[in-house]
Structure 1
């Protein structure tokens, strides 16, 4: 029996699944963040190692059984350039499995697969490698692959340079709209009142101290996106406009990926991932309606499996090649 590790490494956590050759998940482990660009290589190594150990321990393997790991796939945020891949390959080759774990490794270079977190999200979401994934959570990105193996990435440039249609983008636009109304520069919106209540502010001017002096980052600001979504669902025109623009941005990015990868009449799946799609303002329905006019045979779906499972499938696929 062959066994593999599938690893999903992101900005907040690292997930590892231990999978057998029949795609049965035997164990699952979680650890800290492993975004190479923001955490540094030592933190990435530490998180990956801990996630692997916890996955093995959760499998409750009998001491007499020894698992021989034949392949590993790591889908990591922040890994896009050849140089990044080389560095992570070196990390994987130097991972140390403790003697207390019933695991050995027989990893050939070709069986160490390193790719972006988008690639494993697509494979996990569809169960195979063809289609498009539209990720809209804290950040946003569109990634796709066609039947010829060609890939296309659109967006994902981070909160300063891009991430249009993300939770962060929606939240920032909402805060800006609330402050414009507070100034008397724009039309009425309930967002001013909703933000003030939610953040327990005496007035919106206290946002300055909260955001700038308290050191709020992307995570804290993105957490306010559901307030905009809820206001839009209740009929606030300003909030609804923000949601509409976010969906339009994601639709245009998806249209760009489709044009690069698929024929107009081709059938494929679009996997929707991220908290933005689960809101009350029907982002999903708006997106699906817009896409149906662009790619009438595309099917918009929820993920079938988690990204770490997708990484496991890619690791198994490496054994076949």
Structure 2
């Protein structure tokens, strides 16, 4: 029997699944980040190889050999022609790696290279029509209609975009705390919450934490739950920040709907990412905003993981070539 590989290469981890033609996963592996634009091509390749190695070895417990006839790589940051070329080079190196316990029977036409938003959509819904609102460290809204037309909004990174993301919520929370400390804005418990969480002598010490410790996007984004918990406790300022984030995401989603779907058509929106799992009912606020304007839309949590979506796309490519 032949199999396909579905690979989800994100900014924090890489997941690979080995899938048979009945959509059954027989092997799964996980490794480090695979966003080559932030960690480099060599490091991304290493993560992908490690995830494949683990998944293939797990699959070998159920079968004598793992022959791969199709492959889908959904990687963070893949959008331009030059990105596709780099990922094609990564696939070549994978095929030349003799240490991987895989038999390659892979035609160039059976290689699917796409961004991680598409595999999140396909995995989350179970097919390739609908919208994914992915909100974790960063944010992006991506849609695909029944004609195969796609549209993305956001995903421009923490400096140029990522509205509604954990990073933006955390930064807005710290800014609000400092404004309150200055007396420029009304008091918020965020002053005390950031001070306590970071073991600071004073909120003024945020300067040392943010500017002098070399904190990056992930470390800052990890502070978003402080804002979430403050909002859940009823803090007015924190709730205002969460509402702002929700409205940005609702606006981005509306833009995708208006650009790709009939506003009165039935389709699903899947929400993925860590931000939706907070305590302040951000998911409910988002749902209310969208359904009020588009009552025919069904908003869901993911049915499957993105790597599963990549596997489905790899199988679909095989079917299309038959």
Q: Report if the CA contact (8 A) 2:70-2:106 is conserved.
A: yes
For 1:35 and 1:238, the matched residues in 2 are separated by 35
**Structure 2 CA distance, aligned partners of 1:93 and 1:104?**
14
Offset from partner CA, 1:54-98 (integer Å, 9 cap, x none): 1011224368x2221100000000111011101211220221343
Kept in 2: contact 1:277–1:284 (CA 8 A): yes
- Provide the aligned length of Structure 1 versus Structure 2: 319
Once residues 99 and 202 of structure 2 are traced to their aligned partners in structure 1, the CA distance between those partners, rounded to angstroms, is 59
Write out aligned runs for 1:53-92 (5 A): 53-61=53-61, 65-92=64-91
**Distance in 2 between residues matched to 1:88 and 1:306, nearest whole Å:** 21
Deviation (angstroms), 1:294:
2.1
Aligned to 2:219: 220
How far apart, in 2, do the equivalents of 1:256 and 1:212 lie? 35
Distance 1:89 1:16 in 2: 17
Contact 1:8 / 1:117 at 8 angstroms: preserved in 2? yes
Stretches of structure 2 that go unaligned for 5 or more consecutive residues are none
CA distance in 2, matches of 1:105, 1:278: 39
Structure-1 residue corresponding to 2:142 = 143
Aligned to 1:27: 27
Residue 45 of structure 2: aligned partner: 45
- The structure-2 alpha-carbon separation of the partners of 1:208 and 1:14, relative to structure 1 and needing over 3 Å to count, comes to same
1:188 counterpart SS class: coil
| Alignment partner, residue 118 of structure 1 | 117
Asked whether the equivalents of residues 264 and 295 of structure 1 are also in contact (C-alpha less than 8 Å), the reply is yes
- Counterparts of residues 118-197 of structure 1 (less than 5 Å): 118-197=117-196
Cα distance in 1 for residues equivalent to 2:278 and 2:316: 35
Mean alpha-carbon deviation: is it higher for 86-95 or for 25-34? 86-95
Cα deviation for residue 226 of structure 1 reads 0.8
**Structure 1: tracts of 5 or more residues without a match:** none
RMSD after superposition: 1.2
Deviations 1:111-144 (A, max 9, x none): 0000000000000000000000001111010001
Structure 1 contact 36–79 (Cα < 8 Å) conserved:
no
Residue 314 of structure 1 pairs with residue 313 of structure 2: yes
Q: Is the 8 A contact 2:53 2:100 kept in 1?
A: no
The TM-score normalised by the length of structure 1 is: 0.97
CA contact (8 A) 2:29 2:52 kept: yes
Tell me the SS of whatever aligns to 2:122. helix
Alignment of 1:167-316 (within 5 A): 167-316=166-315
* Contact 1:53–1:97, Cα closer than 8 Å, also in 2: no
Closer, same or farther in 2 for the Cα pair 1:150/1:186, shift >3 Å?
A: same
Output the CA distance in 2 between the equivalents of 1:299 and 1:62.
38
Q: CA deviation at 1:100?
A: 7.1
How many Å separate the matches in 1 of 2:218 and 2:177? 20
